[in-house]
A and B are shown apart, each in its own frame.
Chain A
Amino acid sequence: MLNRRGHPDQRDLLRYYDGELSPRRAETVRSHVEACSDCRSHLTETERNLNAYLWFRREVLDATPAPPLPWMDPYKEFERVGTRQGMFAAPGRHTRWLLGGAAAVCAAAFIHTLRPVPPAREVHPTATPKVSVRSEPAPPTTTVPRAHVAPVRPVTADDELRVIGALHEIGADLGEPVKVLRRPDQIVVSAIGLDPPHAARLRSALREMPEVIVYLSAGPVAARRAGAAREVVGSPAPPAIARQFATPEDYEAFVDGVLSQTDAMMARAHALHDLEARFPPEVVSSMKPESQRFLARIRQQHMSALANDAAMIETSVRPLLPQVSAAEPASAGSLFSDCANVDRLLAAVFAGVDNAQPVSAEENLARALDHLKTDLKRMDMN
């Protein structure tokens, strides 16, 4: 229960905070906490983080669409339960239409409530000035930037690709909190919390693109995927895979290395996924030939890097996994789901999730790696 420095581990402190320890263990922790300012600080911080999550959750849940129909009268439905053939049966055709229509109305109403984002920046004392790469003066303060500026020409998928390509050149399409939105008359590039050098590179990369407007909001970078803390070890009952290492420190270093490789792979997978969504075949076919070649080149670069990351993960992890039968012929699955599967299973293996599944997470991970390798080979051949 105590770690090497004589403190309760974080998991027990959380259990203590939540009243989940047995009375005897709770008393032990309480005595320690009363005498230990470090642990008291940790508990205060835990409370602060949990309260922040509760606030966020309440905000988000308040924004979820309301049920599209009035709730049932339970007493009326109870009478019918005895005669029903099965629960969770698919809704009848009429119900489905009714629900679909109501959901559409609900969604439309929800979308109607959307506020333009980001809010006017000049009221924020620390906001980085909004950068418009147009040479014309900045528009007056408004929550709908440039609403009065007449479009020069419709913005096309080729323009969007040029922006994506520019971001790709500076690596801003990998895990950066940069969003690109194509509107009929402009492309909006927005980001929160880029540090000054990154922000400067971003502005510079987009400077020659008159159809682009850039919004950068100050503030420290939130936990982005590539940099997110992914501490893994520390469980009192170490996962099975940890037993293959001489010391906990060796295991921790191994896990850190693999997870950073996984983050790199997932960043590539997200970038490819984003390209697929932005430029589906029907859009690509309408693009200029040079744009099509440019898009193919960006994809190829992501694909090569992803294959490289996957190979490194394979080399690191495979020796620790059980032998499994050869992968079944891979279905035409998506590379993104393959990568996400590996990412998820690695987290499960490193967490030592003790589920009662007939197949262990290690075996599933071995198969997921097989699947990923097979799909990568197939795509390489194509």
Chain B
Amino acid sequence: MSCEDVVARLFEEARDDVYRYLVTLGLPAGQAQEATQEVFLRLYATMKRGRRVENPRAWVFRVAHNHGLTVRGREGAMRAIDPEVHLNIADRGGGPERDLLEWERRTRMAAAVETLSPQQRQCLHLRSEGFRYREIAAILGISDSSVAEFLKRAITRLRKAVDA
């Protein structure tokens, strides 16, 4: 498979994940989309120069993460994803009672997630993207053991919302 095919295939598979990750980091939709595309083109350029990329998906997330933080820092008070977005989710047609219960459940989870540190949120997010701890560590620039520690604390905090 050529370099073009590898990157194009990964782009098809992972672009939405990278885009959403950047949105959750605080980039507006337009910038997140543009950055997502640029990240994949950067991967292509890197591979085209003959550099071996062991794990292209983790590589893409790492570059996207660093770029997201840079943009967010440059633009100062850029607002992160609306913390109340959970309040605006349309019902699923399960009836008003079910909608209300789900609304309350979302609200509790949102309150709990809001108490997490950025690292805890990022570790949880990347874990749910299917990354191993060492991959998360590489993306975030921290150690494997820190990833486990952040995840453990995040889960402990979420427990209160789940138990409520």
Contacts and interface: CB of A to CB of B under 8 A. Distances in A.
Contact of B86 (A56, A99, A125, A232): A56
Nearest to A121: B100
Contacts of A231: 153, 156
A15 B148 contact: yes
Contact of A229 (B40, B41, B114, B157): B157
B7 interface: yes
Nearest to B97: A123
Contacts of A124: 97, 100-101
Contacts of A106: 29
A223 B111 contact: yes
A67 B128 CA distance: 21
Interface stretch (A45-53, A242-250, A367-375): A45-53
A87 B96 contact: no
A168 interface: no
Interface in A99-124: 99-100, 102-103, 106-107, 110, 113-115, 117-121, 123-124
Interface string A49-89: 11011101101111111111101101101100110100110
Nearest to A217: B104
Nearest to B147: A20
B58 interface: no
A356 B142 CA distance: 8
Contact of A353 (B33, B91, B142, B161): B142
B104 A77 contact: no
Contact of A68 (B29, B112, B151, B161): B29
Q: Is the interface of A mostly helix, strand, loop or mixed?
A: loop
Given A74-B7, A229-B156, A219 B88 contact: no
Interface residues of B, number: 83
19 contacts: A11-B145, A56-B113, A65-B23, A67-B29, A75-B8, A78-B7, A88-B38, A99-B31, A99-B33, A119-B91, A123-B100, A219-B104, A221-B164, A223-B160, A229-B157, A237-B145, A351-B149, A351-B153, A356-B141
Contact of B40 (A74, A221, A235, A353): A74
Contact of B41 (A87, A114, A356): A87
Interface string B87-112: 11111000011011101111111111
A230 B127 CA distance: 21
B162 to A, nearest CB: 5
B107 A192 contact: yes
Contacts of B150: 351
Contacts of B119: 353
A78 B15 contact: no
Nearest to B71: A88
A228 interface: yes
Contact of A115 (B90, B109, B158): B90
B41 A77 contact: yes
A354 interface: yes
A347 interface: yes
A97 B124 CA distance: 35
Contacts of B8: 74-75, 78
B161 A222 contact: yes
Given A120-B96, A223-B111, A53 B33 contact: no
B30 interface: yes
Contacts of B30: 68-69, 99-100, 102-103
A193 B164 contact: yes
Contacts of A78: 4, 7-8, 41, 44
Given A74-B8, A120-B96, A63 B88 contact: yes
B152 A222 contact: no
